[in-house]
Structures are given as structure tokens and as C-alpha cells.
Amino acid sequence: MEPELPEFDESISFTKSKLTIRTSNRILENYPITESEVTKLFDPEELEGGDIDNFFVFCNLLLKVWRYCFYYQVKPEKLANQLEEKHFPTSVIKGILEVWSSDQIPKIFENLASFSFSGVPKVKDTQWISQKVLARNGVEVQDEHQAILLFETTSGPQRVQLSAKQLEELYWTTNKIQKSLDNLLEHR
């Protein structure tokens, strides 16, 4: 589902630029997050003396704005016009644009690019080791081969040990993928 830019909720009493910047930064430091996770970003002491429910309505509104911004990668001028059309106060627009133009946004794009919808870390590099097993638990074995794959992923190194059967299956799958790639490149 494509994110939509929300209409500004007139009941929101938080409209200062600095608060918009601070709240947006806190959201973006933890991005991507869900609406329910937004409530855990702030300590109760930080929210003392304010309308907590109204503040979280503001936070969730900003979260929707940031989802929209990342999805459509809107240019600042166009974003400002769109926010005005949705009745955002000038001070909130100013805060959003300041954050949108900050140095942290490219880092967030890079971070988002490393995520996969499956939750599996993105592979950056691979290495492999092939070995023959001579004994297992002190007992000699006949002709047993295995491979160890070393993956450098976005969440750190991971090691996978494959049996001979798994290695053969990987070999045929890899050949099938290579053949498909060759066909694609051949028919460009």
C-alpha cells in the first residue's frame, strides 16, 4: 500500500519548529518503525506536563509524513507545497524541511536499502571453503565432503555449513541462475 500524505489534525497543539525537528530526529533515528513503536521512543519524564495523547497523535502524523517522503523522495519545494495543501502550520513545515535537507537523510536511505521484506540480512560478500571429512566423533568416514559458506551481511558475518547433498543442490541452483543471467545478457 502506498503511503499518503496525511491532513494536519487541527486538534494537535504541538506546532513549534524545534519540537518538530527534535521529534522527527527521534523517529528517524529508529526508522523504520511502526505507529505502536513510536510511543516507546520517549521517556515518561520527557513528556511530563504535556498532553501525552496529543503528542503521540503528532508523532504518528510525523511518522506518516516521513513514510511519504521516503516512498516518493519528494523534492523540498514540492513537499512544502503539499504540506501547505494539507493545512500544516508553517512552523511544522519549516521543521520538516530542515530535517529533510539534513545530512542524516542519505544515511537513512542507505539503511533502508539494506533491509529486505523477509527480514533476512542483505549479503554484501561471500567466501567459501571446501573440505573433506576424514572422521566424525573419532570414527573414520568414507568420502564425505562439505562446504562452509562465509557470508558478510548487513548484520555481520554469518557461517553456514553445507553437507554434500546441500552443496550439490546449491551447485545446480547456482548454475540455473547463471544460465538465466547469461540469457538475459545475451538478449539485451
Task: Write the pLDDT tens digit of every residue in 64-109.
Answer: 999 999 889 999 999 999 999 999 999 999 999 999 999 889 888 8
pLDDT of amino acid 118? 62
Distance CA 186, CA 115 (A): 31
User: Where do the domains of the chain lie?
Assistant: 17-113, 123-186
Whether the full predicted model's pTM is greater than 0.85, yes or no, is no
Distance CA 96, CA 91 (A): 9
Task: Write the pLDDT tens digit of every residue in 117-148.
Answer: 566 777 778 888 887 777 778 888 777 777 88
Q: Which residue has the cell 562439505?
A: 146
- Name the region of 98 (left: φ>0; alpha: ψ -120 to 50; beta: rest): alpha
DSSP 31: -
Q: C-alpha grid cell for residue 176?
A: 540455473
Distance CA 167, CA 59 (A): 49
